[in-house]
A and B are shown apart, each in its own frame.
Chain A
Amino acid sequence: MMDDRNALFSQQTFARAIEFIWREAEMLDRRDYRAWLDLWDASGFYVVPIDPQATDFAATLNYAYDDQHMRELRVQRMVSGYSASASDAARTVRTVSRFTLTSDAADVVEVKSAQVIVAYKRGVSTIFAADLTHKISFASGEPRLVEKVIRLIDSTEALSAIGFLL
């Protein structure tokens, strides 16, 4: 009986996590970055690694390794109007799918997924494909991001500079 309950709980949490990730994706495509900040737990990290094998992000060069302070600065830059690349950023449409629940420890779930972003700017559409890992806390009742890792499949190649968030 308990096992069934646990399985049910796990499935419900998984479903909530997926709904949360889709909501985040929609927010990012809409460039509602201030609302995006509210999705985060203050201790969380937003990471875009370069090295596909990297796990110790603090000791490695990343594209982005943002704690709360850096996330706030990044969003401030995006919406400030002072950045030419952000003010004239590509329009994006992203699809997130292929979800798997990789850990459902008490209060925190880890969900892996695939993300494909098509970014359109000045007549050119560019693809940013990545494996995502979201760690989402349900400790407060509401889902909160405690880590998002975006592993671009071409992270070690020369990328196009962007004015939006992955």
Chain B
Amino acid sequence: MSDTTWQTIDTSTLRERVHADRIAPSLYYDPNLFEAELERIFYKTWVWVAHESELPNPGDFRTTTIGRQPVIVVRDKTGAVNVLQNRCRHRGATVCEEHKGNAKGFTCPYHSWSYALDGTLRALPYGDGYEGVCEKGDLPLAKLRVGIYQGLIFASFDENVEPLEDFLGGAKPWIDLFMKQGAGFPIKANGEHKFKFKGNWKIQLENTTDLYHFPVVHKSWMKSIDDETAAAITSFMTSEDAFCRSLGNGHSLAVLVPELVDLDKDDGAPLPERFNELAAQLAERHTPEEVRRIVRSLMGVGFNLNLFPNLALSMAFFRVLRPISAEETEIRHVALAMDGGPDEANRVRLRIHEHFQGPFGFGSPDDAEAWERVQRGSHAGPEVPILVNRGLNRETTAANGEKTAHATDETGMREAYRQWRAMMEQA
């Protein structure tokens, strides 16, 4: 926490700005608040950084950014995953600028200080100038805490952060269900779309469990798919079995296709006609049960799971947000494949992903347009709150504290803002 931030953020006002059912528009554009969010949320809690399938071999790495801090996620020679600050201990230069790859180590381009895959400082040139000044052993690349659940790699700058599994808590069974879309094969990250929008990160955070927007914003996508799929994917609007639920710690869930929540449970319904050709191809090498299992998983699971603060497991892909500034956010949509699964089915998954996602997809640009309109509009009427009260009239609370309302309700957003305020109020 910088002194500047301490001076400019008065936490006592947060209760005035974030109520259970509404938030102040300044939450979307206050730059001081943004700095405090980095310090108190993104540099404190568990933040998703990569999937294990992106690092199958020793030396495999990918770089990413938590808040403004560049990090390297790398598998070392022992097979362990390290998350290292991408910053030479000498003068601060980044030691890696590739998005991903395989390396034996990382060497700073400025003065050739070189580091091992676990961050250890291996060598520096002309070391006589440091004799008696400092020890190499004291100058590794700084490491973050690392936690892995179901292949999802999370990191935290806070050495005393709670165990990852405690943090995921009520979301864990839903993560387990999400991973079943591998249809018996492990899940593999299979490319990603990245795009930016001119808006605050919380607008994206809200969106994953905002099913209310779907038939409106994505009407043009709906017009481009077959009637059977369109009807199935929007049945939640009127279905009483579709729901939104808070899961604690800011996490939430929106179930839109209840019959696809657990892909191991086959209700025997006919496979979607659009996949008939693929099913016929698969039948040449797979049993009828395997064909059903694979085809029923192509669109992913029937729910979106929001993991506070930066990851969503959204039907068939990972959605990752990165706050850039108070009024700009980066989004990644990571496509998923069955690792070792049939190529023809994985190609269909790629085409489904391309159809909706990314900056040129049929869905994401309309999301981005809506979010940017929220950002622009929120500057009008600073005293007029943003509403997150939909469904308060029908929300129920279970014994474990989880709240449930209809799929189109804003229970998930309320949970995210409850956690947001709890973390922001921590000194």
A148 to B373, CA, bound (A): 33
For the complex, is B351 an interface residue (Cβ under 8 Å from A)?
Answer: yes
> B194: which A residues are within 8 A, CB to CB?
156-159
Kindly provide the distance from the CB of B155 to the nearest chain A CB, expressed in whole angstroms: 20
Residues A161 and B350 in contact in the complex (CB < 8 Å), given A63-B360, A77-B362, A85-B368: no
> B359: which A residues are within 8 A, CB to CB?
63, 159-162
Contact (Cβ within 8 A) A61 B362: no
Partner of A83, one of B99, B220, B353: B220
Chain A interface extent, by class: 20 to 34
Using a CB-CB cutoff of 8 Å, which residues 128-166 of chain A contact chain B?
156-163, 166
Residues A61 and B366 in contact in the complex (CB < 8 Å), given A83-B220, A84-B217, A158-B196: no
Residues A159 and B217 in contact in the complex (CB < 8 Å), given A48-B360, A84-B370: no
> A59: which B residues are within 8 A, CB to CB?
343, 347, 350
Kindly provide the distance from the CB of B149 to the nearest chain A CB, expressed in whole angstroms: 25
> B17: which A residues are within 8 A, CB to CB?
none
Partner of B366, one of A48, A83, A160: A83
Contact (Cβ within 8 A) A61 B224: no
Using a CB-CB cutoff of 8 Å, which residues 166-212 of chain B contact chain A?
190-197
For the complex, is B77 an interface residue (Cβ under 8 Å from A)?
Answer: no
Residues A61 and B360 in contact in the complex (CB < 8 Å), given A84-B370, A85-B365: no
> A85: which B residues are within 8 A, CB to CB?
365-366, 368-369
For the complex, is A10 an interface residue (Cβ under 8 Å from B)?
Answer: no
A86 to B332, CA, bound (A): 21
A65 to B382, CA, bound (A): 43
Contact (Cβ within 8 A) B223 A158: no
> A160: which B residues are within 8 A, CB to CB?
195-197, 359
A82 to B343, CA, bound (A): 34
Interface of A is mostly: mixed
A166 to B360, CA, bound (A): 9
Contact (Cβ within 8 A) B223 A161: no
Contact (Cβ within 8 A) A58 B347: yes
Contact (Cβ within 8 A) B369 A163: yes
Kindly provide the distance from the CB of A111 to the nearest chain B CB, expressed in whole angstroms: 23
For the complex, is A101 an interface residue (Cβ under 8 Å from B)?
Answer: no
Partner of A77, one of B197, B220, B330: B220
Kindly provide the distance from the CB of B416 to the nearest chain A CB, expressed in whole angstroms: 23
> B332: which A residues are within 8 A, CB to CB?
158
Chain B interface extent, by class: 35 or more
Kindly provide the distance from the CB of B192 to the nearest chain A CB, expressed in whole angstroms: 7
* Binary CB contact string for chain B from 337 to 381 against chain A (1 if under 8 A, 0 otherwise): 000000100010011011100111110111111100100000000
> B305: which A residues are within 8 A, CB to CB?
none
For the complex, is B335 an interface residue (Cβ under 8 Å from A)?
Answer: yes
For the complex, is B111 an interface residue (Cβ under 8 Å from A)?
Answer: no
A77 to B366, CA, bound (A): 11
Partner of A84, one of B193, B331, B369: B369
A80 to B224, CA, bound (A): 11
For the complex, is B221 an interface residue (Cβ under 8 Å from A)?
Answer: yes
Contact (Cβ within 8 A) B223 A159: no
For the complex, is B219 an interface residue (Cβ under 8 Å from A)?
Answer: yes
A66 to B335, CA, bound (A): 18
A82 to B196, CA, bound (A): 22
Partner of A161, one of B224, B347, B368: B368
* Binary CB contact string for chain A from 48 to 77 against chain B (1 if under 8 A, 0 otherwise): 101100000011111111000010011011
| Max count, chain A CB within 10 A of own CB: residue among B193, B221, B353 | B193
Residues A84 and B366 in contact in the complex (CB < 8 Å), given A157-B194, A161-B197: yes
> A32: which B residues are within 8 A, CB to CB?
none
* Binary CB contact string for chain B from 207 to 243 against chain A (1 if under 8 A, 0 otherwise): 0000000000101110110000000000000000000
Residues A65 and B351 in contact in the complex (CB < 8 Å), given A50-B193, A74-B362: yes
A-B contact sample (18 more), CB < 8 A, given A48-B360, A74-B224: A61-B190, A61-B191, A61-B192, A65-B351, A65-B354, A77-B220, A77-B223, A77-B362, A82-B220, A84-B370, A85-B365, A86-B365, A88-B369, A158-B332, A161-B364, A161-B368, A162-B359, A166-B360
Write 30 A-B pairs (CB below 8 A) sorted by A numbering: A48-B360, A58-B347, A59-B347, A59-B350, A61-B190, A61-B192, A64-B354, A64-B360, A65-B354, A70-B355, A74-B224, A77-B220, A77-B223, A80-B223, A83-B362, A83-B365, A84-B366, A84-B370, A85-B366, A85-B368, A85-B369, A86-B220, A158-B195, A159-B195, A161-B195, A161-B360, A161-B369, A162-B360, A163-B369, A166-B360
B interface residues with partner A (beta carbon < 8 Å) = 99, 190-197, 217, 219-221, 223-224, 330-332, 335, 343, 347, 350-351, 353-355, 358-362, 364-370, 373
